[in-house]
Structure 1
Amino acid sequence: MLPHWTIHQQITINSVRIGSMTNSSILQIGTAGTIQSSAELMNSGKFTSAAPALLPPGKSVPISNPRGS
């Protein structure tokens, strides 16, 4: 029989900056024996139908360089 380990740890975090999180991102602080994936699709805007079709792009207007080059 394999030994049973119990590990206690304390982690203090003063500041965390997260650039971006996507549907497949994992933010892990500390250790984990197993990470189980989870995916949930939610209608947080309570939309009841599909989005309207995109409008055609408008006219392009050239913009001059403000530095004169």
Structure 2
Amino acid sequence: MNLTIHQSIHIHLLKIGSIANSSVVQIGSTGSIQGKSDIHNTGGFTELAEQALPVDNLTPLVPLSPIT
């Protein structure tokens, strides 16, 4: 069975509390959402990368507005 849905959505305020690596924000309708993750070695690397150094900077890289 095929369904065709026509909808009009007006968003006046969208507030998101937190975001993680696998977050999904859905606006509208869907039958199902399936996760997908792919790993590609596009550089042709054959060895492990060097160990990352810890960063002591507590200032965010992207300034965020305060929560009101």
Q: TM-score, normalised by structure 2?
A: 0.49
The structure with the larger Rg is: 1
Q: TM-score, normalised by structure 1?
A: 0.48
